[in-house]
A and B are shown apart, each in its own frame.
Chain A
Amino acid sequence: MSIEAREARQPWILLAPALTAIGLLLIVPLMFIIVYSFWLRSAAGADTPGFFFDNWIAALTDRFYRDILLNTLKIAAVTTVACAVLGYPAAYFIARSQGNKLILLVLLMLPFWISYIIRTMSWINILGVSGALNSALIWVGIINEPIQMLYNETTVILGLVHFLLPFMVLNIFVSLDGIDTNLEDAASSLGATRWQGFLQVTLPLSLPGLAAGGLLCFVLAAGTYITPVILGGPRDAMFANLVYEAIIRQLNWPLGSALSLLLLIVLGVLVLIYNRYLGMAQLAKGLG
């Protein structure tokens, strides 16, 4: 075998384990889900194999699914904006801090050592009727009766921001850390104020990191299931909750498959748009 042929084969040999894992654990199950989405659930509960469009027609035309999908995208967007606003100053502070950068990064990663569910449930002890905040407000004398702060859309967004903020900070940090600080000094020497230097030099250069963090936060928020269950009120549901209910509660796997594919397609389109304008390389850098 020639050296060229051997070199051409080498990447495929190295990629083979990863491709096999992706094929078996992602592509094959996805194929099953696609096939399932065209089946029907009979009244008795068992599935009816075949090629029916009923689930897709319901998923695409029913106002119920459309409204919840739009609400899910709205919640994901609000969460992403909140993470960006809160995360940028934190990332900037870490990137520009001297000497204790590593400690700050470790502190940023600390929440990941605690289960996501536990972190979400901690808000019940903070915002609950007999929680820390209400107790403190009553003790100070600001209120006489506890305020109902939990179980609404705001607390769902709060829980999501709590969960996703580190992802945003890390992505922006990676971007800011790669910017040569001499550029800010150069802007200052040319007469720019610190604020102008930030707006015209640092911020534009860090936008890819902001966008990568935004994409991650948006996709993770849009696919969340547990936060609305723990912190949401009676009407607060996101699209993943509908998938769960269709598959687990109603045992309607065909409809659940169609709904999950619909969410996958919507989020996939967003990723493609991101890739078209910014490229996936920035996302990989942020995750690395």
Chain B
Amino acid sequence: MDDTKRYERLRERLQNGDISRRKFFGLLGAAGAAYGLQTPFAKQAFAADVTQVRFDGWGGVVSEAFRKYAFDPYTAKTGIKVIDGTFPGGDEYLAQVRASQPGEYNIAHLSGVFDYARYASFDLTSELNLANIPNMANVMPALMNAFKSITPDSLSAAPYDYGTTGLAYNRKYISDDEIKEKGAKILIDEKYKGKIGGWADWRTRLWYAALQTSQDPNDIKDMDAAWDAVRKNRDLLLKYWSSGAELMSLLAEEEIYVTEGWSGRIYALQEQGHDIGYYDPPNSFGWQECLFVIKGSPMAACEELLNFMLDKDTSIAVAEGQSYPPALDPTKVDLGDKIPKLPAFDPTGTLSGLTFANPAYWNGNEAAWSEEFGRVQRGY
């Protein structure tokens, strides 16, 4: 007997006078309480029969491309719906995932290898069966190896795209020659006081501080010098920006002339007709994004979805939409005409020209440096 029938019978007994109104409401309340208590556990039971998979990403054109090229064909083939969520940043999303029930969040478009390592440190990793993801064979080994260094025995994510955080500058005020000559030090140049922007992200700030003090970003020896560079940059800044939209607005409105910026966002500004230059100084901040499957997710369904998302057509459409090169190996897959023109694109498929953050080094110092940056940012 289903619940509706059960409630109808109960109501009939009330109308016939078989039970009192008090007893009727008491039974209804008990049913409500029982449902409330069993629901969290019922969710786990339902997981055995997968009807939907949740995907969280950055939204916008990326989400639209995923919907068109991966989610809808996937649903048509499997009957499994894809619930498409968005997040404003990786930190906020990790906080949500930590506060959730296992299985509530399934796949996330995460940024950076350090995010992979952070999820591993919070015991949120899963174990992908690569045999179920044949398109993974087209992914650049260099990107896979970065994850394997953190979880050597298994993978929890598929690499998806990569880019750099380089220098973005307004050509009306700063020439290509000047940016090449000054490199990262242009962000601590008094000449542009009040016209410099900076991302409110401790990793990026310290990475550029390392470049400004001629140090290896993955092995900063003189931390005092690096923090002094962060302070000097702070004193010259107009504003710390906190989103890609704000970065684009500040540059487009000429509130700032120079900042470090994400290669795809700057390319989008150039496409809109703004005369904004982009330059990767030596040891510019390289990063990669991945499709991470969170612990407790229905693995077979997620693996099949990953395979759809790694399909050549989906990868290229998403890459063109967000202006970041895909993780597919260009020596194996024809990526078309537009992608080779994107900033940070590596035609060799080795990514040897990019410097990535060493996750062990950066995550090992995260607690201390993120707190210290919070203070330096406020003038301490």
Give chain A's interface residues, CB within 8 Å of chain B.
41, 43-46, 64, 68, 124, 128-130, 148, 150-151, 229, 232-235, 237, 242, 245-252
Chain B nearest CB: distance from A52 CB in Å? Answer: 15
Are A250 and B121 in contact, with the CB atoms below 8 A?
Answer: no
- Asked if B255 is at the interface (CB within 8 A of a chain A CB), the reply is yes
Q: Is B333 an interface residue (CB 8 A)?
A: no
Task: Decide if A234 touches B370 in the complex (CB within 8 Å).
Answer: no
Most buried by B among A46, A64, A234: A234
Q: How far is the CB of A264 from chain B (nearest CB, A)?
A: 19
Task: Tell me if A249 and B91 are in contact (CB < 8 A).
Answer: yes
Whose C-beta in chain A lies nearest to the C-beta of B96?
Answer: A248
The answer to whether the Cβ of B92 comes within 8 Å of any Cβ in the partner chain is: yes
B240 contact set on A, CB distance < 8 A: 234
Complexed CA–CA distance, A141 and B379 (Å)? 37
In the bound complex, what is the Cα–Cα distance between A237 and B234 (angstroms)? Answer: 14
Contacts of B118 in A (CB 8 A): 45, 251
The minimal Cβ–Cβ distance linking A255 to chain B, given in whole angstroms, is: 8
Q: A45-B118, A235-B377, A245-B374 known; A250 and B367 CB under 8 Å?
A: yes
Would A251 and B91 count as touching, CB distance under 8 A?
A: yes
Given contacts A234-B377, A245-B374, A248-B95, contact A151 B239 (CB under 8 A): yes
**CB contact between B255 and one of A64, A68, A129 (< 8 Å): that residue:** A129
Complex A-B, nearest 9 residue pairs according to Cβ-Cβ distance, in ascending order: A235-B379, A250-B370, A234-B237, A151-B239, A45-B121, A248-B91, A249-B91, A234-B234, A245-B374
Give B286-342 interface residues, CB cut-off 8 Å to A: none
A46 touching B239 in the complex, CB below 8 Å, given contacts A129-B254, A248-B92: no
Residue of A nearest to B201 (CB): A249
Complex Cα distance, B118 from A94, in Å, reads: 56
**Is there contact, CB below 8 Å, between A148 and B238?**
yes
Name the residue in A45, A46, A247 with the highest tally of chain B Cβ atoms < 10 Å from its Cβ. Answer: A45
**Contacts A129-B253, A130-B253, A248-B91; A46 near B377 (Cβ below 8 A):** no
**Known pairs A124-B249, A130-B254, A250-B370; A64 contacts B380 (CB<8 A):** yes
Q: How far is the CA of A150 from the CA of B234 in the complex (A)?
A: 16
**A41 proximity list for chain B (CB < 8 A):** 367
* Residues of chain B within 8 A of A246, CB atoms compared: 374
Report chain B residues within 8 Å CB of A64. 375, 378, 380
Q: Which residues of A contact B122 (CB under 8 A)?
A: 45-46
Query: Can you name the residue of chain B whose Cβ is closest to the Cβ of A237?
Result: B378
Residues of A within 8 A of B377 (CB): 234-235, 237
Interface, chain B (partner A; CB < 8 A): 91-92, 94-95, 98, 118, 121-123, 194, 198, 202, 234-235, 237-240, 242, 249, 253-255, 363-364, 366-367, 370-371, 374-375, 377-380
26 CB contacts below 8 A, A to B, read: A43-B364, A44-B121, A45-B118, A45-B121, A45-B366, A46-B122, A64-B378, A68-B378, A129-B254, A129-B255, A130-B254, A151-B239, A234-B235, A234-B377, A235-B377, A235-B378, A237-B377, A242-B374, A245-B374, A246-B374, A248-B92, A248-B95, A249-B202, A250-B370, A250-B374, A252-B371
Cα(A237)–Cα(B242), bound, Å: 13
Tell me whether B253 and A251 are in contact (CB under 8 A).
Answer: no
A46–B121 touching, CB < 8 Å:
yes
A257 CB to nearest chain B CB (Å): 13
Known pairs A233-B237, A250-B367; list 20 more (Cβ under 8 Å): A41-B367, A44-B121, A45-B118, A45-B367, A128-B253, A128-B255, A129-B255, A130-B254, A150-B255, A151-B239, A234-B198, A234-B239, A234-B240, A235-B234, A237-B377, A249-B202, A250-B371, A251-B91, A251-B98, A251-B118
Contacts of B242 in A (CB 8 A): 229
Residue of A nearest to B375 (CB): A64
Total A-B contacts with CB atoms under 8 angstroms apart: 73
**Residues of chain B contacted by A252 (CB below 8 angstroms):** 367, 371
Chain B residues near A130 (CB, 8 Å)? 253-254
Kindly name the residue among B122, B202, B239 whose own CB sees the greatest number of chain A CB atoms within 10 A. B239
A68 cross-chain contacts in B, Cβ below 8 A: 378
Within the complex, which residue of A233, A237, A247 is in contact with B238, where a contact is CB–CB below 8 Å?
A: A233
CB-CB under 8 A from A242, the residues of chain B are: 374
Complex: chain A residue closest to B194, CB-CB: A148
> Is B95 within 8 A of A251, CB to CB?
yes
- For A256, the closest partner residue in chain B by CB is B95
- B366: nearest chain-A partner, CB-CB: A45
Residues of B within 8 A of A245 (CB): 374
Expressed in whole angstroms, the minimum distance between the Cβ of A199 and any Cβ of chain B is: 43
Cα A151 to Cα B238 with chains together (Å): 7
A147 to B: closest C-beta gap in Å? 11
**A residues less than 8 Å from B254 (CB atoms):** 129-130
Residue of A124, A128, A130, A250 with most partner-chain B CB within 10 A: A250
CB-based nearest A residue for B118: A45
Can you name the residue of chain B whose Cβ is closest to the Cβ of A71? B378
A233 adjacent to B239 (CB under 8 Å): yes
**From B99, which residue of chain A is reached at the shortest CB distance?**
A253
Least Cβ distance of A269 to chain B in Å? 25
Docked Cα-Cα span, A245 to B118, in Å, equals: 17
Shortest distance from the beta carbon of B184 to any chain A beta carbon, whole Å: 18
Residues of A within 8 A of B249 (CB): 124
Chain A residues with CB under 8 A of B239: 151, 232-234
**Whole-angstrom distance from the CB of A65 to the nearest CB of chain B?**
10
Q: CA separation between A236 and B279, bound complex, in Å?
A: 30
